[in-house]
Amino acid sequence: MTYRAPINDMLLSLNHGAGLQAALKAGHYGDFDADMTAQVLEEAGRFASEVLAPLNTVGDRNGIKLADNKVTTAPGWPDAYQRWTAAGWNGVSGPEAFGGQGLPLAVNAACTEIWASSNIAFGLCPLLTLSAIEALDAHGSDELKNIYLEKLVTGEWTGTMQLTEPQAGSDVGALRSRAERQADGSYRVFGTKIFITYGDHDMTDNIVHFVLARLPDAPAGTKGISLFLIPKFLVNADGSLGARNDIYASGVEHKLGMHASPTCTMTMGDTGGAIGYLIGEENRGMLCMFTMMNQARLGVGLEGVGIADRAYQQALAFAQERKQGRGIGSKTDGMDPIMVHPDVKRMLMQMRSLTAASRTICYATAVALDIAARSPDAKVRTEAAARGALLTPIAKAFSTDIGNEVTSLGVQIHGGMGFIEETGAAQHYRDARITAIYEGTNGIQAIDLVTRKLAAGGGAAVWALLDELNGIVKRVEGSNDPAFGTTGAKLRDAVDALERSSKWLLEKMASAPNDALAGATPYMRLFASALGGCMLANEAMAARDGEGDSARYVSVARFFAENIAVQAGSLERTVMDSAEAVLAADSALLG
Amino acid sequence: MTYRAPINDMLLSLNHGAGLQAALKAGHYGDFDADMTAQVLEEAGRFASEVLAPLNTVGDRNGIKLADNKVTTAPGWPDAYQRWTAAGWNGVSGPEAFGGQGLPLAVNAACTEIWASSNIAFGLCPLLTLSAIEALDAHGSDELKNIYLEKLVTGEWTGTMQLTEPQAGSDVGALRSRAERQADGSYRVFGTKIFITYGDHDMTDNIVHFVLARLPDAPAGTKGISLFLIPKFLVNADGSLGARNDIYASGVEHKLGMHASPTCTMTMGDTGGAIGYLIGEENRGMLCMFTMMNQARLGVGLEGVGIADRAYQQALAFAQERKQGRGIGSKTDGMDPIMVHPDVKRMLMQMRSLTAASRTICYATAVALDIAARSPDAKVRTEAAARGALLTPIAKAFSTDIGNEVTSLGVQIHGGMGFIEETGAAQHYRDARITAIYEGTNGIQAIDLVTRKLAAGGGAAVWALLDELNGIVKRVEGSNDPAFGTTGAKLRDAVDALERSSKWLLEKMASAPNDALAGATPYMRLFASALGGCMLANEAMAARDGEGDSARYVSVARFFAENIAVQAGSLERTVMDSAEAVLAADSALLG
């Protein structure tokens, strides 16, 4: 089966769950026309179904090839990429001055989900270009922008992010690639980078690498890192391509999934050093990378949502088609589709509700980032920036955690067929697995949530959010709608648990920071369970107040509350009670 | 790194957590000598480290080949299999009259974990032979036993189990392979079977297939299925091999994992029908298959334990070696091993404690089955049989669920390296995934737990077990050992939640069976969380009362109680509150 973008679900999530409609009404989006959203998503869904989805299996089976330092992508991929740029999809939220459409991030977030859902390995390439655009736009000189930015925005050229080295993964400050100043103001860069996504490929005639390296006189650690733009081919004054630069793909990884996305070892300096141009100031490269990373983290979260939705669509179709056994009280002759079995229904609902909650969390992050960039009111911008910063690690970690869970349920629903590669369920399971790791492991996201985002302003961003969540809970409780079942009570408990845990962690951050770190991961899950539950209830109420079919959204919200949000209480106990056992682990692990 | 069997952990689990020592003292094991256990496990561990573990990657990379209906296994596998049988490992718990050693199932359970841990794809072959032995020993004629049983017990020949057909997976009764009676009392069997593990291979010169088929005049459904023994090569009167039988591997699957284990499509009847011999009575084949399945389910549970332990060992070694970042308050120069980070400690403890709990649940199942077979006291045998029946679905489902969780954590701890196949962490993740599916999906195990095992005798087996668990909780509470933290309180809550949920489900089974089915999977997890938590606490107390290092076992028990058992309360709410949302799922899923 092919992929179909769930446009209605996405619009409800975007407009009501994530608050796009309210933000529009409040005037934060200026003259952006809301009617365009549905139209863009429809078009994106069509492109994804027709062009990207059919290449997903092709890419997995063929993978990529490296020969003579050149990467060849799977059959059909370069052509699909040409169609992608021709249709303008690369520049949805790119700056209008450089060939972009300037649409809100929130709209592009929904598109990003669609690309990841239809073909996650393909969608990863423009995701990285987007981060590169962000860094160049924010920190690059006018000269560099004039040469490179439009090419990146339109997608005529792609971008890479090059941080990792064998000894420098999560600890970026340990990197050793070095840059030497040249008389003409450029730099020569030497070193080896690993795990470079789309480090080389045959889909465009140039690639713009964004590389972290260290100057000879730089301080140690993250304070001595500079960011360089290194084109694969140098660019002549007239914009034509010049000499091949000294940066090459010298190896590719054999990976669990994402076979169609080349993961390269990049070597710089075999023939005199790669010519690079400084972005921002010397030794301030980490600042530029942080700009890139925030967007990239949200993008990876959306990969989690997308792959989860794809796995759900496939499992649902299988469960409707595959006949085994009979339901209790079944009146049919012969076997029933496995979807009649309550345990299969449970798995499908779990897939659907986890996906829906993570979708809204991601979209809400994008809306916050939009408001932070667009609102005319400085106070509103500041608060929205804090909200976006708070939600980013949750969007990344929760969505990719559930991406793994949901794709696993997708395999499970297929039974024995799920383990056979031909079925395709296993590919989603394999492809999803990296998303919880790259752009900062989910453990690092949880630590970011506790030590930076919760801690900022004594928890100010969290208290502001809790106010809104409490408002939602009150409205659910006040609705007296029996279809919500115990949703109100479950969300009330979850939000209270989130509040108590947040206070406890803030206090421990000061008195016993390792205790707080020990609870970071369960706190992340607790946060997402309470937040996601309230968001789903909020959009279910909006659906009920509008036209159209609302029963399904109420069911999804109720299922999430009674099965996922309900775990908040035990997660709170884990946050508060288990630090001692975690920190004493050495005796248990090394005995 | 290679695999090292965790002998001390296994012995503590077997003797104290699983109750082998108490059963020995009570005389249930007759003259079995307890001192042998450690010796057998030491030898098994040595064989696994030296012979099986080094072939695990080889098997994954090379996979198997099918040509001219013949399967070739990976380099080194036939030789390793010869060494396996020569060392007597195939017959550890096999009947002594037919060349086995007659050791307790509990001892073989520990060995099975070791085989799965060192090389799960290899260990799967004898696991299936074991089930075949079981069925032949229990239901075969003396004539068939005399020809085949010793060969299977020693492993000179291997066995297969052939149930599945394209339209008959979980619903075995839908199978269509047909058998025709012959004048000489034998049968001719025709049909196609799929997903047949080790359906063909080059490790032995004969294979004994156990095939379900239907006689022409058989009733529909499971009441019309007969079991046939079909040798790959017919056996002459003098025991030498005769003509090639009409059963062939006609295809092999391309799978997510377990690449070294051939999963075959088997075709019977291209040249006149496969000659088969009836096992048991006509149309009573399901009875024989149930005999095979119970042991096989425990065996698959032990695969979950084994693969989890292997992933844990590898992740622990990586976390001690890989340096990134610095711990809070670290006094070292430069980077620390990632194991200093509380979030990494948490992941390792989760891996270790889930593995330990599932191990003891599996071993306890084996001890119960042993007592049911060996005790001189009929009442003891009956109660032990009920205990074994109750624990089997939990052993299978929980151990394989955590097998997936723990191997995923293993990938996560490796960071980006975890996604690279070279590292090996990804192989465990891939290999583990089938264990939650085959031998009855975990959903089917949960349904079996609720509808058969809980329901039997009005819950008698559950109440008897709860008595024991309450006794353990009292001892933890009474111990006043601060190292246990909140373990006593957490286990008390978990056991109470288990009791209430069990009563609720029993009641619903009568009044609203679909409500009970909707809660089967969360009930299964709740059951295992309470049970595993009590068992780990029990063995920690035994370790404390003995000599040797007990701090590590107390830490593991405490971690499990505060992080896993603590979820029982929310699982109870899910069991009781979420049936309505599950059963109303159609509106949400099909909108």
CA distance B264 to chain A (A): 12
Contacts of A472 (CB under 8 A, 6+ apart): A491, A534, A535, A537, A538
Q: Could you give the CA distance from residue A577 to residue A150 in angstroms, rounded to a whole number?
A: 53
Q: CB neighbours (10 Å) of residue B248?
A: 22
Using alpha carbons, select from A167, A514, A444 the residue that is nearest to residue B330.
A514
Tokens at residue A131, please? 């981060």
Rounded to whole angstroms, how far apart are CA atoms A147 and A131? 17
Helix axes B378-413, B425-432, angle to 10 degrees: 140
The Cα-based distances of A61 to A343, B139, B148 in angstroms read: 32, 46, 43
B555 with A352: Cβ contact below 8 A: no
Task: Among B325, B419, B588, select the one facing A437 at the smallest CB separation.
Answer: B419
Our CA-based measurement puts residue B141 at a distance from the nearest CA of chain A, in whole angstroms, of 32
Angle between helices B342-374 and B105-139 (to 10 degrees): 50
- Cβ–Cβ gap A582/B411 under 8 Å: no
What are the tens digits of pLDDT across the range B175-230? Answer: 999 999 999 999 999 999 999 999 999 999 999 999 999 999 999 999 999 999 99
Residues of A in contact with B550 (CB under 8 A): none
Residues of chain A positioned with their CB less than 8 A from the CB of B559: 578, 581-582, 585, 588
| End-to-end CA separation in angstroms for chain B | 51
Instruction: Please report residues of B whose CB lies closer than 8 A to that of A329.
Output: 514
| Helix, coil or strand: residue B283 | coil
- Cβ contact A156:A204 at 8 Å: yes
Q: Do A420 and B518 touch (CB under 8 A)?
A: no
pLDDT at residue B529 tops 70: yes
Classify the C-alpha dihedral A451-A304-A101-A366 as positive or negative: negative
Is B461's pLDDT higher than 90?
Answer: yes
pLDDT at B133 over 90: yes
What average pLDDT does chain A have?
Answer: 96
> What CA–CA distance (Å, rounded) separates B591 from B583?
15
- Give every CB contact of residue A138 below 8 A, 6+ residues apart in sequence: A288, A291
Those residues whose C-beta lies under 8 Å from the C-beta of residue A10, and which sit 6 or more positions away, are A41, A110, A113, A359
- Which pLDDT belongs to residue A591? 67
Query: Please, which contacts does A170-173 make with residues 24 or more away whose CB atoms are closer than 8 Å?
Result: A170/A440, A170/A441, A170/A444, A170/B324, A170/B325, A170/B415, A171/B324, A171/B325, A171/B335, A172/A212, A172/A222, A172/A225, A172/A286, A172/A289, A173/A220, A173/A221, A173/A222, A173/A223, A173/A225
**Catalytic: which of A439, A499, A539, A572?**
A439
**Average pLDDT for residues A31-56, to the nearest whole number?**
94
pLDDT digits (tens, 9 = 90+) for A412-466: 999 999 999 999 999 999 999 999 999 999 999 999 999 999 999 999 999 999 9
Q: What is the distance between the alpha carbons of residues B242 and A547, in angstroms, rounded to a whole number?
A: 75
Per residue in B392-409, pLDDT tens?
Answer: 999 999 999 999 999 999
| Partner-chain contact A566 B574, CB within 8 Å | yes
Helix (H) or strand (E) holding B277: strand B274-279
Nearest to A555 among B343, B549, B588 (CB): B588
Check residue A1 and give its pLDDT.
62
**Chain B residues whose beta carbon lies within 8 Å of the beta carbon of residue A430:** 256, 430
Do B581 and A566 make contact, defined as CB atoms within 8 angstroms? no
Q: Residue B558: which of A256, A551, A581 has the nearest Cβ? A: A581
Q: Cβ A589–B346 below 8 Å, yes or no? A: no
Q: Is B321 exposed, middle or buried (0-12, 13-18, 19+ CB in 10 A)?
A: exposed
Number of H helices, E strands in chain A: 21, 12
Domain coordinates in residue numbering, chain A: 158-284, 442-585
Rounded to the nearest 5 degrees, what angle is found at the Cα of A197, between the Cα atoms of A196 and A199? 65
Q: DSSP readout, A146-208?
A: IIIIHHHHHTSSEEEEE--BTTBSS-GGG---EEEE-TTS-EEEEEEEEEEETSS-SSSS-EE
Tokens found for residue B279: 């096992």
Mutate to test the interface with A, among B570, B571, B575, B580 (most CBs of A within 10 A): B570
List the one residue out of A415, A317, A409, A424 whose CA is nearest residue B195: A415
Nearest residue in B to A483, CA atom: B581
In a 13 Å sphere around the CA of B232, the CA atoms on its Cβ side amount to 20
Q: What is the pLDDT of residue B290?
A: 83
For residue B264, which of B58, B76, B72 has the smallest C-alpha distance?
A: B72
Contact by Cβ (8 Å): A94, A85? no
Cβ-Cβ contacts under 8 Å, B422 against chain A: 253-254
The answer to whether the Cβ–Cβ distance between B588 and A253 falls below 8 Å is no
Decide if A254 and B522 are in contact by the 8 Å CB cutoff: no
Q: How close A102 gets to chain B, by Cα (Å)?
A: 33
Q: What digits encode the pLDDT tens for the residues B258-269?
A: 999 999 999 999
Residue pLDDT, tens place only, A503-549: 999 999 999 999 999 999 999 999 999 999 999 999 999 999 987 77
Counting Cα atoms < 13 Å in the Cβ hemisphere of B507 gives 8
Contact A256 B421 (CB under 8 A): yes
Distance CA A82, CA A158 (A): 12
Distances (CA, A) of B195 to B67, B213, B437: 18, 16, 12
Asked whether the beta carbons of A532 and A568 are under 8 A apart, the reply is: no
- The answer on pLDDT for A185 being more than 90 is yes
Contacts of A378 (CB under 8 A, 6+ apart): none
How is chain B split among helix, strand and coil, in percent rounded to 5?
65, 10, 25
- Which of the following CATH numbers is that of domain A158-284: 2.30.110.10, 2.40.110.20, 2.60.40.1120, 2.60.40.10? 2.40.110.20
Number of residues that make up chain A: 591
What is the structure's pLDDT at B33?
A: 80
Instruction: Please identify every residue of B annotated as catalytic.
Output: 439
- Contact at CB, B578 and A559, closer than 8 angstroms: yes
Angle of helix A520-545 versus helix A551-563 axis, rounded to 10:
160
Interface test with A, best of B194, B346, B438, B493 (most A CBs within 10 A): B346
The pLDDT value recorded for residue A158 is 98
**Chain center to CA of B173:** 24
What is the pLDDT, as a whole number, of residue B294?
81
Neighbours of B154 (CB within 10 A): 18
Cα–Cα distance measured from residue A86 to residue A98, given in angstroms and rounded to the nearest whole number:
15
Query: Average model confidence (pLDDT) for chain B?
Result: 96
Q: How far is A59 from chain B (nearest CA, A)?
A: 16
Percentage of chain B beyond pLDDT 70 is 100
**B120 vs B396: CA distance, rounded Å:** 15
Written in H, E and C, the secondary structure of B48-108 is: HHHHHCCHHHHHHHHCCEEECCEEECCCCHHHHHHHHHHCCHHHCCCCHHHCCCCCCHHHH
Contacts of B344 in chain A (CB under 8 A): 443
Inter-chain residue contact B257 with A419, CB threshold 8 Å = yes
Task: Print the SS3 string covering B140-163.
Answer: CCHHHHHHHHHHHHHCCCEEEEEC
Distance of CA A99 to the CA centre of its chain: 24
Alpha helices in B322-435 (DSSP H): 342-374, 378-413, 425-432
Is residue B578 pLDDT above 70, yes or no? yes
- B234 to chain A, closest Cα gap in Å: 31
- Interchain pair B420, A169: CB under 8 A: no
Nearest to B108 by CA among B56, B49, B153, B162: B153
How high is the ipTM of this complex?
Answer: 0.98
Q: Residue B210 and residue B139: Cα distance in Å, rounded?
A: 12
Cα A581 to Cα B345: distance, rounded to the nearest angstrom: 10
The rounded radius of gyration (Å) of the Cα atoms in chain A is 24
Instruction: Spell out a b/e string for B409-429, using b for 16 or more CB atoms within 10 Å of the CB, else e.
Output: bbbbbbbbbbbbbebbbbbbb
Q: How far is B325 from chain A (nearest CA, A)?
A: 5
Report the gap between the CA of B479 and the closest CA in chain A (Å). Answer: 18
CATH architecture of B158-287: Beta Barrel (2.40)
Secondary structure E strands in A198-262:
207-213, 226-231, 233-235, 241-244, 247-252
pLDDT above 70: percentage of residues in chain A = 100
Q: What is the pLDDT of residue B1?
A: 61
First CA to last CA distance, chain A: 51
Q: Which of B411, B524, B549, B587 to mutate to test the interface with A (most CBs of A within 10 A)?
A: B587
Helix axes A551-563, A487-511, angle to 10 degrees: 50
Contact assessment for residue B340 and residue B329, using Cβ atoms and an 8 Å cutoff: no
Which residue in A485, A571, A498, A573 sits closest to A531, CA to CA?
A498
Residues of A in contact with B412 (CB under 8 A): 436-437, 441-443
Quick one: pLDDT band at residue B429, thresholds 50, 70, 90?
A: very high
A549/B591 Cβ within 8 A:
yes
> What pLDDT sits at residue B154?
98
Per-residue model confidence as pLDDT tens digits over B46-95: 999 999 999 999 999 999 999 999 999 999 999 999 999 999 999 999 99
Does the distance separating the beta carbons of B349 and A585 come in below 8 Å?
Answer: yes
Note the pLDDT of residue A32: 84
Contacts of A522 in chain B (CB under 8 A): 563
> Which residues on chain A are in Cβ contact (under 8 Å) with B254?
420-422
Burial state string for A148-167 with b = 16 or more CB within 10 A and e = fewer than 16: bbbbbbbbebbbbbbbbbee
For B559, name the nearest residue in chain A, comparing CA atoms only: A581
Q: Is B546 left (phi over 0), alpha (psi -120 to 50) or beta?
A: beta
Mean pLDDT to the nearest integer, A23-48: 92
> In what helix (H) or strand (E) does residue A406 lie, and over which residues does it extend?
helix A378-413
Q: If you count residue pairs, one on A and one on B, with CB atoms under 8 Å apart, how many are there? A: 290
Residue in chain A closest to B414 (alpha carbons) equals A437
Q: How many CB atoms lie within 10 A of CB A147?
A: 19
Structure tokens at B95: 């009947």
Contacts of A448 in chain B (CB under 8 A): none
A156 catalytic residue (yes or no)? no
Q: pLDDT per residue over B323-382, tens digit each?
A: 999 998 888 778 999 999 999 999 999 999 999 999 999 999 999 999 999 999 999 999
Distance of CA B363 to the CA centre of its chain: 10
Element (H, E) at B248: strand B247-252
